[in-house]
A and B are shown apart, each in its own frame.
Chain A
Amino acid sequence: MPLTDSLRDDILASVPSLRAFAISLSGNGDRADDLVQETLLRAIANIDSFQPGSNLPAWLFTILRNLFRSDYRKRRREVEDAEGNYAKTLKTQPAQNAHLEFEEFRNALDKLPQDQREALILVGASGFSYEDAAAICGCAVGTIKSRVNRARSKLSALLYVDGAEDFGPDETVRAVIGGNGG
């Protein structure tokens, strides 16, 4: 469809979540913004192939995801300081404890296989349905479900390998642990 003002506004409205997706995938703020820029250029260059009334965010996410994957293959050998660059993209630094916890989470997320990481982000953070996530990744709905499940298990093994010990200040859990210890 033609690039109308309302379509421009819709594309613009997707930018914050496209950036969040790009940063979650790549762990690198500068690279993520390059990916978003490239996605926007390609989306507008191919706007004629967008079906009016279909899911614009899903279409844009598909473009970004495919760009990330081809870019990833090119850059595979580069060593990147993912955490440092990500921290720079935050407007306010989280408090020290929260920051450590955040870094641990980011590191664990980066250890997931790419297929699992993107599935988990699309469903667990972007809020896409399993069906939309499957369309974005070009695979079956069942495949997305199993990737999300495997991603969750692996994250919980990486982050909470010692079970309750590393667990945060959750009263219920504390009570359970305390009860067992006494």
Chain B
Amino acid sequence: MKEVKKQGGLNAEIQSRIGHQLRAMYDDVVRQGVPDRFAELIRKLDGPEEAAAEIAKKDGGE
């Protein structure tokens, strides 16, 4: 109730518009689904040791 009262009138319209824009921006990316590179990465790693080795390789290589 406090929230509604505070955001009366035009301010409530603006807040609803901001919420809509934020979700539109976010959902645009969500709708792209899972890029192949991530699906492959998750499937190929056997477990923690291999993931840790990948991190070490990356850290060392840069």
Q: Chain A: residues with CB nearer than 8 A to chain B?
A: 2-3, 8, 11-12, 15-17, 19-21, 23-24, 33, 36-38, 40-48, 89-91, 101-102, 105-106, 109, 120-121, 124-126, 152, 155-156, 159-160, 163-164, 167-168, 170, 172-173, 176
B34 touches A16 (CB 8 A): yes
Q: Which of B11, B30, B37, B42 contacts A156 (CB 8 A)?
A: B11
What is the distance, in angstroms, from B52's C-beta to the closest C-beta of chain A?
A: 4
Q: CA–CA, A170 to B14, complex, Å?
A: 11
Contact (Cβ within 8 A) B10 A173: yes
Contact A41 B55 (CB under 8 A): yes
Q: Chain B: interface secondary structure?
A: helix
Q: A109 to chain B: which residues have CB within 8 Å? A: 22, 25
For B43, the chain A residues whose CB sits under 8 A away are 8
Interchain CB contact (< 8 A) of B25 among A40, A105, A163, A172: A105
Q: A37-B37, A102-B25, A170-B13 are in contact. Are A152 and B18 (CB under 8 A)?
A: yes
- In angstroms, Cα B46 to Cα A145, docked, is 40
Whether A89 contacts B38 in the complex (CB less than 8 A), given A156-B14, A176-B10, comes out as: no
Are the C-beta atoms of A45 and B18 separated by less than 8 Å?
A: no
Interface centre among A36, A106, A120, A155 (most CB of B within 10 A): A155
DSSP class of A's interface residues: helix, strand, loop or mixed?
Answer: helix
Chain A residues within an 8 Å CB radius of B55: 38, 41-42, 45
Residues of A within 8 A of B18 (CB): 152, 155-156, 159
Evaluate contact between B42 and A40: CB separation under 8 angstroms.
yes
> Which residues of A are found within 8 Å of B45, using beta-carbon distances?
3, 41, 44
What is the 8 Å Cβ interface bit string for chain B, positions 24-62, against chain A (1 contact, 0 not)? 111111111111011101110111101110110010000
Chain B residues whose C-beta falls within 8 Å of the C-beta of A33 in the assembled complex: 35, 37
Q: Are A125 and B23 in contact, with the CB atoms below 8 A?
A: yes
Provide 9 A-B residue pairs closer than 8 Å at the C-beta atoms, listed in order of the A residue: A15-B34, A41-B54, A47-B48, A101-B21, A102-B25, A109-B25, A163-B10, A172-B13, A173-B10
A109 to B19, CA, bound (A): 12
Complex: how many Å from CA A47 to CA B42? 12
A173→B17 CA distance, assembly (Å): 12
Contact B15–A152 (Cβ < 8 Å): yes
**Cβ-defined contact, B22 with A173, below 8 A:** no
